[in-house]
A and B are shown apart, each in its own frame.
Chain A
């Protein structure tokens, strides 16, 4: 068995929060609160969670676009946690990012050739001819015509722009891609195209992908394993089918219950979460989810629940082993 391509171990990232008052500057927003995760070579790991769960921060930290406050990040066996910019340079081409918003992430003054070829210009000494060939190949890879190279982003639709973003991410032939909500800004009929394209490229290029999304159904379609995040922690991690059919954390169950079902005969009768996600500046003691959890016990407030392997390869941070959780919430009992 090969060692995983990416290993994240006990990662913490906090941001200082400026407030008013004498002691306000001491407040910290815990965006990542002890996250551990691996991504195997050619594996797709989905990360789901609501806004404020820390999923975007995780993606940026893994790519070392942020410096974590604690914990370690290994990329292909190399500890990159504290590497300098210069030391990171040879590793950067192997890890790339696809952004959420295809309107904001492409420079409107650059041609598609300039945008897609920018990583080449930065990382490789290539001739003009080699540059043109590589851009042509990258465009072909994502299903755009060669003529697209001379045009500007505004001439393309949202789905095509996302293809341009993917071509830019792939032109250096990375091993690892972080895709941060790559389809949530797209129209429904276009989302499916981009998901299919990512799946196809993933298997053709045996890419490892950290696929970040808030939509459990989208993540379920594309991922080998799913990590569920809540308030800066991973609360559940396991093989996709296991997580979808036998969730082990009440928050995962609640996400299922909240997802609208495209079947008008299966309306209503769901156990909804009450309230909002608590502030990451002052998260609840013990289990961070306990304030919204229908199964919470007094003990849940006392200690942070251990992230345990409850089933082979299937981890959850919940002290209750007596629950039968289900995707349909009706199967759940107190």
Chain B
């Protein structure tokens, strides 16, 4: 890497393929991105876009071959740039035992459904302490003390009393706070949050988003936030990766993406979000993207979005998968027609 401050996490050509009835199915197709310290990267996509599979691949939580094949590189560099320079380790090359030292320690994850992610038969204090005992090799008593601090940090009232609570005694928002406490227990450098607020009510979602932003400010951790909700993206992301059918469609800063979306899919997605506008007439139709999200077993040839795209041209969009091209300011787009589309004066 020529960059003087190499990225904390560097993903290169990550591909994930699953064995299916009709041969191998590509869930993630040569995905590359970087994550810097303290940064929030949002990965946006619909069902089948590969966003959750990406997070599981980074955590090495996918099943082993031959059911699933993961290729590419996931470089995790040391958290302090002065201790060891730009080297880093390729997580995909680690032995399971080595990966266990990284998972939950340097990279932690928060899942969508806090009820199924917590163990219902153990009190939450023990579940928070577990990671600390394993990774920090401290006693259970010390770990439980640390759990009190963690519960306090994630805004759970009466944390000491709560240690003995079981997951079913907590509300959905409180359970998600416990999940975040577990994820933060070992001060991770990278937090992967996979739709952490999707199962929550909107008022609780707002609380959790604010909590994550505060914790990130305090700790300087980098966050990968996986979501389908562009409103949430606008609230929390520094940079955004838009996935469709396992491929990057666009990668940009959050302002670039909302101000100048370059891929027609992104434009359509932004336009289809209902906006609270008191001045708009009611019973107003929304801009809809026609068609359906493609079946990963039967991806359209060429650009996977072309059957739904108003700008698609036969012979150009349906032949080869478009390359990712660089626009201004680090903005990346996968569309053979992005220049024409964004210069309306030139005749296509």
- Check B276 against A189 for contact (C-beta < 8 Å): no
Which one, A202, A218, A256, A327, contacts B274 given CB within 8 A? A218
Cβ of B137 under 8 Å from chain A:
no
Chain B residues contacting A199 (CB-CB under 8 Å) are: 283, 285
One of A56-64, A170-178, A239-247 contacting the partner:
A239-247
Among residues of B, the one whose C-beta sits closest to the C-beta of A51 is B201
Cβ of A262 under 8 Å from chain B:
yes
- Check B272 against A191 for contact (C-beta < 8 Å): yes
- Check B269 against A157 for contact (C-beta < 8 Å): no
- Check B206 against A264 for contact (C-beta < 8 Å): no
7 contacts between A and B (CB under 8 A): A188-B228, A220-B277, A244-B277, A262-B273, A270-B206, A272-B210, A327-B278
Complex Cα distance, B284 from A192, in Å, reads 11
Cβ of B254 under 8 Å from chain A:
yes
Cβ of A222 under 8 Å from chain B:
yes
Cβ of B230 under 8 Å from chain A:
yes
Complex Cα distance, B315 from A189, in Å, reads 25
Among residues of B, the one whose C-beta sits closest to the C-beta of A158 is B47
B249-283 residues at the A interface, CB under 8 angstroms = 254-255, 258, 268-270, 272-280, 282-283
* A212-247 to B contact mask, C-beta < 8 Å, 1/0: 001111101111100000000000000011001100
- Check B174 against A276 for contact (C-beta < 8 Å): yes
Chain A residues contacting B280 (CB-CB under 8 Å) are: 220-221
- Check A221 against B268 for contact (C-beta < 8 Å): no
Q: Given known contacts A190-B292, A259-B231, A260-B232, is B201 in contact with A220 (CB within 8 Å)?
A: no
- Check B282 against A189 for contact (C-beta < 8 Å): no
B210-242 residues at the A interface, CB under 8 angstroms = 210, 228-235, 237
Cβ of A273 under 8 Å from chain B:
yes
Cβ of B130 under 8 Å from chain A:
no
Cβ of A80 under 8 Å from chain B:
no
Which one, A190, A241, A254, A327, contacts B282 given CB within 8 A? A241
Chain A residues contacting B174 (CB-CB under 8 Å) are: 276
Among residues of B, the one whose C-beta sits closest to the C-beta of A216 is B276
Complex Cα distance, B174 from A215, in Å, reads 21
Cβ of B61 under 8 Å from chain A:
no
Count residues of B near A (Cβ-Cβ below 8 Å).
Answer: 52
- Nearest Cβ on chain A to B298's Cβ, whole angstroms: 12
- Check B275 against A262 for contact (C-beta < 8 Å): yes
- Check A192 against B288 for contact (C-beta < 8 Å): yes
Complex Cα distance, B309 from A189, in Å, reads 12
- Check A224 against B282 for contact (C-beta < 8 Å): yes
Which one, B173, B203, B258, contacts A262 given CB within 8 A? B258
Cβ of A50 under 8 Å from chain B:
yes
Among residues of B, the one whose C-beta sits closest to the C-beta of A187 is B46
Cβ of A82 under 8 Å from chain B:
no
- Check B46 against A189 for contact (C-beta < 8 Å): yes
Which one, A190, A260, A261, contacts B293 given CB within 8 A? A190
- Nearest Cβ on chain B to A218's Cβ, whole angstroms: 5
Among residues of B, the one whose C-beta sits closest to the C-beta of A194 is B288
- Check A262 against B286 for contact (C-beta < 8 Å): no
Chain A residues contacting B269 (CB-CB under 8 Å) are: 188-189
Chain B residues contacting A190 (CB-CB under 8 Å) are: 46, 292-293
Cβ of B204 under 8 Å from chain A:
yes
- Check A195 against B274 for contact (C-beta < 8 Å): yes
Most buried by A among B202, B235, B277: B202
- Check B282 against A223 for contact (C-beta < 8 Å): yes
Complex Cα distance, B231 from A216, in Å, reads 13
Among residues of A, the one whose C-beta sits closest to the C-beta of B290 is A193
Among residues of A, the one whose C-beta sits closest to the C-beta of B201 is A50
Cβ of B319 under 8 Å from chain A:
no
In the A-B complex, the 3 residue pairs with the closest CB atoms: A260-B231, A245-B278, A192-B288
Q: Given known contacts A221-B284, A245-B279, A270-B206, is B273 in contact with A188 (CB within 8 Å)?
A: yes
Cβ of A159 under 8 Å from chain B:
yes
Cβ of B171 under 8 Å from chain A:
yes
